[in-house]
Amino acid sequence: MNCTYESPVKRMKLRGYVTHQKMEGAKILVNPHQEDDDFNEVLLHEIAHAFWWGASEEKIEHFAAITSQILKKFGR
């Protein structure tokens, strides 16, 4: 799976997007025009979707928020 720092479909104004990992050319898109903390959380959010495709949005958001906070605490 490829990870790209580019704006997902601009007209949709998404912060990030992941295609299904079984698709040919599957990738994660993350809009680079965000604050660092937001960027990191969106990237973690999309990575979580890629690994746990069927997980609820609530669980994905929780995972990304907590993981992002932990990384920020350690200066990452």
pLDDT 10s digits, 36-63? 889 999 999 999 998 888 899 999 999 9
**pTM to 2 decimal places:** 0.77
pLDDT 10s digits, 7-45? 655 655 778 888 876 666 678 888 888 888 899 999 999
* Domain housing 54: 2-73
Q: What is the total count of domains within the chain?
A: 1
DSSP string for residues in 12-76: GT-SEEE--TTSTT-EEEE-SSS-HHHHHHHHHHHHHHHHSTTS-HHHHHHHHHHHHHHHHHTT-
- 67-74 mean pLDDT: 94
The answer to whether residue 1 scores a pLDDT higher than 70 is: no
